[in-house]
Structure 1
Amino acid sequence: MIATGTQKKAKTLLANLLKARFPFLYIQTWEEDRVLSVIRSVAQDVELIKTPREVLTWRMTTGIIDGQGSSKDECKAPLKALEFIEKYDKPCIVVLQDFHVYFGGQGKLPDFQVIRKLRDMLINIKQSRNPKNIIFTSPFLNLPGDLQKDITIVDFDLPTFDEIRSVLDEMINVNEQSGRIQISLTGEEKERLAKAAMGLTLSEAENAFARAMVEDGRLDIHDVDVILEEKEQIIKKTGILEFITSELKMEDVGGLENLKRWLAKRNNSWLDSARKYGLPAPKGVLITGVPGCGKSMISKSISSMWQLPLLRLDMGKIFSGIVGSSEENMRKAIKTAEAISPSILWIDEIEKGFSGISNGGDSGTSSRIFGQFLTWMQEKTSPVFVIATANNISGLPPELMRKGRFDEIFFVDLPTKRERKEILKVHIKKRLKDPEVVGGFQLTEEVLENLAAKCEGFVGAEIEQLVIDGLFEAYAESRSIRLDDFEKAIINTVPLSVTQAEQIRSVRDWANVRAVTATPQEDREDYAKDSVAITIGPGSESNDIGEDVRFNRGGRTIDF
């Protein structure tokens, strides 16, 4: 395997620490075999380390195993193993696996004799005639206070894209020779498949590729979904992030063409092909607007369009009762999102998560977490696309909306007539599939025009509900659907544009100069140049308001 720049940098750092006689190094990793492979590679690379060294390993089940594979059973006890290492008189690197169990933690006291012995060995290791280093490897970072000044932590990242691609290529070559699995991948599709496995260990990636192959006897771009299912296991174990599995597609979202085009242009921008243009991976979008107009729906559909895992960050799980744990929860969530990148991180109703920033009622915890999130948004290099949705825009701190945090702020307004037609078509077609229920009803352009005109001022969620209410009218009488069923449902609905007129006006005033409209100009031609009239007619069963409600349309018009 050819070492990439990242791999070479990691090996060089490890070699320099070994040459500088750092006595104790600590590597947190689940990949014991992979880290041992890297250590052995460095130990024999005369260009990196000059003096080749033997690599010995220790486990409590096997004792010490030397470079020739011989086991020292008498060294299973930790103190015996340390005594053996102290007396060993050859250039060596000793890897102690799972030695952290003697360091205490999780309600257990440390083994003070072991810790004392390690401290006693410091001078011996540093002044040894032959170079000698001890490396602790463990899935968990657990350092006793007595040794914190003596142990150096070495980061060991998850496999790089090139390492995962190498595993994929090797598996493809083996299966092409056997002819048992049909491989149908272009060069770019192989890249997308390997990118999808980023954040998995080499073993997990290999398992995911193998599962994809055996499920249908072929490997193609559709197997990205299998890789994402493997990543779901990682998310479930955090307890903070939620892996969202959604069947929604962009075609299921009516209207918002401006936002859709913006997202479509940035699809695959985390692949190498985008680097030719000098493009960075997009940071994210903030979507605000009238409640019920499709912000959450389009957030879920991005995952399907981009074929990336969608992670929902529950701010309620970030804030916990133990002092200091909230900040650690946020770090854990960010680290997990980056580990499985490229990924999409969705924060729904973000204004509620940071509601305690201004009043300081939580001893500054909200402010610290908010600052932590802002710093990450500004400086992140991993391809984690952040989608934040907000209804009450006044609750958002101004720092969140500064350029550099999000790529763009989109405003989702009440749907235009053209958008209402699209939303009606989506929901009616999705539900009207049984011929007996359809009967003589035909969803013609004239029908859509009629319904769209009558439900002016309705948000997307209300349009969906009126379709459901219309179907209930037919279901209650055990007959096929009729146009007047939908018309009756419209009459019986008082939309948010009336009940929350002041709030909508406030959101539009804010968005008029700060956000880009998610609806393109051609769809906004239904409305007058400066305003839209929403008329609630008198005489309906549930509403006798009989007044016109007029709003200024919010959001700058920029066509993507």
Structure 2
Amino acid sequence: MADELEFKSLLSNLLKARFPYIYIPTWEEDRVLSVINTISKDPNLIKTSRTVYIWKLTTGLTKNGKNVSSDTKSPLKALEYIEKTDEPAIFIFLDFHIYLGSTGMCNPDPQIIRKIRDLSQLLREGKSPKNVIFISPSVMLPDELQKEVSIVDFNLPPVEDIMNLLEDMIVVNQPGKIIIDLSPNEKEHIAKSALGLTLQEAENAFARAMVEGGNFNIKKLDVILEEKRQIIKKSEILEFINSDLQMGDVGGLQNLKRWLEKRNKSWLDSAKHYGITAPNGVLITGVPGCGKSLIVKAISAMWQLPLLRLDIGKVFSGIVGSSEENMRKAIKIAEATSPSILWIDEIEKGFSGGGGDGGTSSRVFGTFLTWMQEKEKPVFVAATANNIKMLPSEFLRKGRFDEIFFVDLPTYKERSDIFHIHMKKRLNKEVMGDFKLNDDFYSYLAKLTEGYVGAEIEQIVISGLFEAFSEDRPIKIEDFEKSIKNTVPLSVTQSEQIRAIREWANVRAVAATSADDSADYIKEIGESELKPDKHGIDEDIGSSRGGRAIDL
């Protein structure tokens, strides 16, 4: 409720100070009208009680639900009525923006703008305190009114209001045919998942969740996320990623997985008992094709939070000043849908600190850095980078990200796990024939693929299946051996880059691979079976591990 109390305090102070025009951009007319009505009669907030008038194009000015005059449907007549009114009052104009700015259908009305300016001094100095409040979904102000109007943000409903709405709907529907199966913690989880929605949107989401299957439980979180997806669809900068990828679909990286698991649900109130807050984010760097993007997608499923991808390229545009505004808009949407995960893929390409753009990149970068340092909403930033050396040093200091993880070439055990995942996902009895999948088979392929990244292992499986498909027969082990033989791994083509990344990560990042997997890397497969010269693989690249081997 803190946001609403701050809004009441700010708005009441503006009214007492006789600010003539106040503009509140919001979709929630009913909720903001309720707050204004409360302020108008509360002696603790405003000394002189005020009458509330509401103007709509369809009804004109109304007082206590009744028209004050039949001709006040005209905006000019409504403004003239304010001029003649002697009692202390608050005049609320709904959707008045169509007269104030270009909407594609209507240009600013010069007569109305002039009348608003003429009325300004009277509102400030008149005998009775009077204020005008504009309520509209969007802000449209002509240059002539920039100095006359004060804009006040009205935040979306806090979790307390959403929880009250949820409880009311449960009470109303529980005696009927709807089966409610939610623990107190699950109710909190659902209410916090609905943050970023208006009360009407939240009510629609809860109602839909209840009617689908005739029950309401924690599994209905997807319905809430679908409502949030509608918000993101209207943004060109953010993309809602709908992924069914599970953590079990990502081979290895046990250290990183455990770190993420420990921070699950840390945005709930139960975490406050331990004196902790929701994590800021994680930066995952390392060798290309080793699963950085995959594990970010899997976080969404593990934490049951919406995953939003920020396209840095769309943030920058040709109009001066619009790039900074695009970044602020993206941040605002991410916070509106919080708790959420904000994914920035290959972040070094957007925030490398390059010049030549008049300082636009630096300003956008500064906006993002400041937000990461000071953000209060639970937005978890998951960033991936292939060449972390391109990032400015201030981006990497503690406080921006909670941890920096390094994803190296997969170990023997990790490669075996990756083969297992892709084989299980693609093979069926018809394709397999008499072929048997077992640990020995995965181990054999893992031995043959020293120095291969996860993406290359996936393509080896796919290429092997194409061999069998082209001959219309079940698979054979030779299919995968042939595919391996024909693949030149990244550890050969980019050996210098990989070595440089490892040198950086060895003292600055935590290894995503568990200490146990790294320690057994050589021991499990044996030096004689590594065959580092098979593709000319550098032995240092094939065998050494980068990143601090801390077991989390």
| Normalised-by-shorter TM-score class | over 0.9
Q: 1:336 aligns with which of 333, 337, 362?
A: 333
Q: What displacement does 1:12 show?
A: 2.0
| Alpha-carbon distance between aligned partners in 2 of 1:336 and 1:189, rounded to the nearest angstrom | 25
The 5-angstrom pairing of residues 33-48 of structure 1 reads 33-48=30-45
Q: CA deviation at 1:390?
A: 0.6
CA distance in 1, matches of 2:261, 2:209: 27
Measure the CA separation in 1 of the matches of 2:276 and 2:270: 9
Q: Which consecutive unaligned segments of at least 5 residues does structure 2 have?
A: none
Report the Cα distance in structure 1 between the residues aligned to 2:74 and 2:531, rounded to whole angstroms: 83
For residues 194 and 72 of structure 1, the distance between their equivalents in structure 2, rounded to whole angstroms, comes to 43
Selected match of 1:229 from 226, 229, 243: 226
- Residue 67 of structure 1 and its aligned partner are, at CA, apart by 1.9
**What amino acid maps onto 1:451 in structure 2?**
L
Conserved 8 A contact 1:299-1:346: yes
The one-character-per-residue Cα deviations of 1:102-143 (angstroms, maximum 9, x if unpaired) are: 223457653222222222222322333332111111111122
Counterpart Cα distance in 1 of 2:328 and 2:152: 18
Aligned residues: 545
Paired amino acid for 1:515: A
Structure 1 position 116 matched with structure 2 position 95: no
**Secondary structure at the residue paired with 1:21?**
coil
Counterpart of 1:161 (choices 153, 159, 162) is 159
Decide which moves more: 547-556 or 447-456. Answer: 547-556
Q: How far apart are residue 65 of structure 1 and its match?
A: 0.8
Aligned to 1:446: 440
Q: Give CA deviations for 1:150-169 in whole Å, capped at 9, x if unaligned.
A: 22211100111111111111
Q: Give CA-to-partner distance per residue, 1:299-350, whole Å, 9 cap, x none.
A: 1000000000000011111111111111111111111001110010000001
Question: Partner letter of residue 403 of structure 1?
Answer: K
Q: How many Å separate the matches in 2 of 1:101 and 1:319? A: 29
Shift of residue 373, structure 1, vs aligned partner: 1.0
AA in 1 matched with 2:487? T
User: Which residue does the alignment assign to 1:553?
Assistant: 545
Alignment partner, residue 254 of structure 1: 251
Equivalent residue, structure 1, for 2:406: 411
State which of 358, 371, 377 in structure 2 corresponds to 1:363. 358
* Residues 211-252 of structure 1, C-alpha deviations (whole Å, 9 max, x = no match): 111121111101111111111110010111000000100000
Q: Is the 8 A contact 1:498 1:549 kept in 2?
A: no
Q: Map 1:399-548 to 2 at 5 A.
A: 399-433=394-428, 435-527=429-521, 535-537=531-533, 545=536, 548=538
1:174 aligned residue (172, 193, 199): 172
Report which stretch shifted further, 136-145 or 300-309.
Answer: 136-145
Q: Distance in 1 between matches of 2:133 and 2:2?
A: 23
Contact 1:535 1:549 (8 Å CA) reproduced: no
Question: In the alignment, what sits opposite 1:292?
Answer: 289
Residue number among 193, 197, 203 corresponding to 2:194 in the alignment: 197
| Of 104-113 and 404-413, the range deviating more from structure 2 | 104-113
- In the alignment, the residues of structure 2 paired with residue 334 and residue 5 of structure 1 have an alpha-carbon distance, to the nearest angstrom, of 21
Cα distance between partner residues in 2 of 1:54 and 1:186: 44
**Is residue 136 from structure 1 mapped to residue 134 from structure 2 by the alignment?**
yes
| Residue 93 to residue 499, structure 1, CA distance change in 2 (3 Å) | same
Query: How far does residue 196 in structure 1 lie from its aligned partner after superposition?
Result: 0.7
Shift of 1:89: 1.9
| Range with bigger deviation, 117-126 or 217-226 | 117-126
Partner deviation per Cα, 1:255-297 (whole Å, 9 max, x = no partner) = 0000000000000001001111111110001100001000000
Residues 259-270 of structure 1: matches in 2 within 5 Å? 259-270=256-267
The answer (yes or no) to whether the contact 2:284–2:292 under 8 Å persists in 1 is yes
SS of the residue 2:368 aligns to? helix
- 2: CA distance between counterparts of 1:153 and 1:330? 20
Moved more, 33-42 or 283-292: 33-42
Between the aligned partners of 2:109 and 2:466, the Cα distance in structure 1 is: 69
Q: Is 1:397 equivalent to 2:392 in the alignment?
A: yes
The aligned amino acid for 2:406 is F
SS at match of 2:406: strand
Cα distance in 1, alignment partners of residues 173 and 99 from structure 2: 45
SS at match of 2:289: coil
**Contact preservation (8 Å) 2:413, 2:521:** no
Aligned to 2:378: 383
User: Tell me, what secondary structure is at the counterpart of 1:535?
Assistant: coil
> What residue number does 2:52 align with?
55
Once the two structures are superposed, what CA deviation does each residue of 1:375-412 show, in whole Å capped at 9, x if it has no partner?
A: 11111111100011011122211111111111100000
- Native 8 Å contact 1:311 1:346 kept in 2: yes
Distance 1:166 1:20 in 2: 34
Kept after mapping to 2: 8 A contact 1:62/1:71: no
Farther-moved stretch of structure 1 (440-449 vs 458-467) = 440-449
In the aligned structure 2, how far is the partner of 1:471 from the partner of 1:263? 34
Contact 1:512–1:555 (8 Å) recurs in 2:
yes
Q: Secondary structure at the match of 1:251?
A: helix
After TM superposition, the structure 1 stretch with the greater mean CA deviation from structure 2, 301-310 or 40-49, is 40-49
Q: CA deviation at 1:536?
A: 4.5
User: Counterpart of 2:315?
Assistant: 318
Measured in 2, the distance between the counterparts of 1:98 and 1:336 equals 22
Distance in 1 (CA, whole Å) between partners of 2:10 and 2:368 is 29
TM normalised by structure 1 equals: 0.94
**Aligned partner letter, 1:147:** L
CA distance in 2, matches of 1:489, 1:525: 29
Counterpart Cα distance in 1 of 2:329 and 2:407: 32
In structure 2, the residue corresponding to 1:216 is in which secondary structure? coil
**Do the aligned residues in 1 keep the contact of 2:256 with 2:513 (CA within 8 Å)?**
yes
Matched to 2:182, the amino acid is L
- The one-letter amino acid paired with 2:217 is D
Match of 2:279 among 274, 282, 285: 282
Q: Report the TM-score, using the length of structure 2 for normalisation.
A: 0.95
Deviation at 1:149, TM superposition (A): 2.1
Amino acid at match of 2:407: V
SS of residue in 1 equivalent to 2:174: helix
Distance in 2 (CA, whole Å) between partners of 1:84 and 1:390 is 61
* Conservation of the 8 A alpha-carbon contact between 2:405 and 2:511: yes
